[in-house]
Amino acid sequence: MSLVDLRALAAQFSVPGTFIDGRAHGSGHINDTYALRFDQDGNPVRYILQLVNQAVFKNVPALMENVDRVTRHINASLEARNVPDRSRRALTLIPTHDGAVYHVDQNGEHWRVYRFIEAATSYDVLTSHGQAYEVARAFGALQGMLADLPDPPLHETIPKFHDGPARFGAFLDALERDPLNRAVDAKPEITFLLDHEAAFSRLPSLIESGVLPLRATHNDCKINNVMIDDATGEGICVIDLDTLMPGLTLYDFGDMVRTSTCPVAEDSRELDRVRMDLDRFKALVRGYLSSAGEFLTPAERAHLVFSGKIITLTIGARFLTDYLLGDTYFKIHRPGHNLDRCRVQFELVRSITRQKAAMEVVVAETFPGG
């Protein structure tokens, strides 16, 4: 995207000051994200400009209605409790000159602008146990704030997003079609996944039987979707609200386990360094308890360890499916990137399986009586 284009897009929004420049930003796999700078009374002030991925999100107006409602709700919740520094603790959409929360360009693409959360970092790999605590506390606090979101329920921005049988079925379809003849490069991963089919229906059947409640959840609780304050280390703001919709707290917690207990990146090629670190898991469970402990039901608590395994397995399955289909969903930055990502997930599933008993003890000790 050229500077001229970014300037023209930025001009659609009610941002005070004069456009200076803009550049690609962050490491998300889905949207195109840019950091823009504006001169405001001689000071450079940043904003986030995002192109929402329409191949992934089929109904962007419905998605933006969710984001608008939720960001207002969170801002109001912080205000009601007189929380200081609120503009860094909740995303804020900047409207267009017409008062809309997104701009549609001549190609029918949807753009939005957020205030930039400054003096905070989103990490792809955590650097301390304290950060695992903070990430979990922040996502749990978001779940808590969403508990009193008034009706109607949020739109489902991606149908069947965490539906295990649907994800497994999509993998089987891809395997059968194998359009690029790539299955031959992924034989061990394919076998591993086929061996784990039974796990995919466990949480959906507990939803169906009413054992696990659907709540408004984030659904993409990877660690780089939390901004961590550079000065205090606090998980100050949850971002990436595109998949906020009715879901399971367990899908959220599972993604925290997937992304914050492993000392190497999601796409690392150092498979021998991939493992679920029990001390990080302890910090994660404690952080989650501090904000979500009050509202989690015993059934939710009972499946916290399994959630880490099933989400890691499911996201590994999605990476493998995308690899087989030619990398059309997740952004990739090298050949074989999705297969590398898949391998890390499956290695992590093995590590979680090996440490299941010790992880259950951590949960039992952290949630006494739960």
Give the interface with Mg ion as residue ranges (CB under 5 A): 28, 225, 240
Burial of 211 (0-12, 13-18, 19+ CB in 10 A): middle
Given the complex with ligand ADP, which of 123 and 367 has the nearer CB atom? 123
- CB 148 to ligand GN1: min, Å: 25
Of 35, 45, 51, 56, the one binding ligand GN1 (CB under 6 A) is: 56
Given the complex with Mg ion, which of 66 and 225 has the nearer CB atom? 225
262-321 residues in contact with ligand GN1 (CB under 6 A) are 266, 315
The DSSP output letter for 334 is S
Q: Is 260 in the site for ligand ADP (CB under 6 A)?
A: no
Residue 163 tokens read as 């539906």
Q: Is 224 in the site for ligand ADP (CB under 6 A)?
A: yes
Q: Is 33 in the site for ligand ADP (CB under 6 A)?
A: yes
* Whether residue 152 has a cis bond before it, omega within 30° of 0: yes
Helix axes 304-325, 337-354, angle to 10 degrees: 160
Q: Is 347 in the site for ligand GN1 (CB under 6 A)?
A: no
- The SS3 assignment for 193 reads helix
Q: Candidates 25-33, 72-80, 292-300, 320-328: pick the segment binding ligand ADP (CB under 6 A).
A: 25-33
Given the complex with Mg ion, which of 225 and 312 has the nearer CB atom? 225
Decide if 105 contacts 96 (C-beta within 8 A).
Answer: no
- CB 119 to ligand ADP: min, Å: 10
d(C-alpha 133, C-alpha 129), whole Å: 7
Residue 25 tokens read as 């930003």
- CB 239 to Mg ion: min, Å: 7
Q: Is 117 in the site for ligand ADP (CB under 6 A)?
A: yes
Decide if 212 contacts 252 (C-beta within 8 A).
Answer: no
Decide if 25 contacts 18 (C-beta within 8 A).
Answer: no
**Would you put residue 178 in left (φ > 0), alpha (ψ -120 to 50) or beta?**
left
Question: Which residues in this chain contact ligand ADP in the complex, by CB under 6 A?
Answer: 25-26, 28-31, 33, 48, 91, 114, 116-117, 122, 224-225, 239-240, 242
Residues that bind ligand GN1 (CB under 6 A): 28-30, 56, 220, 222, 225, 240, 243, 266, 315
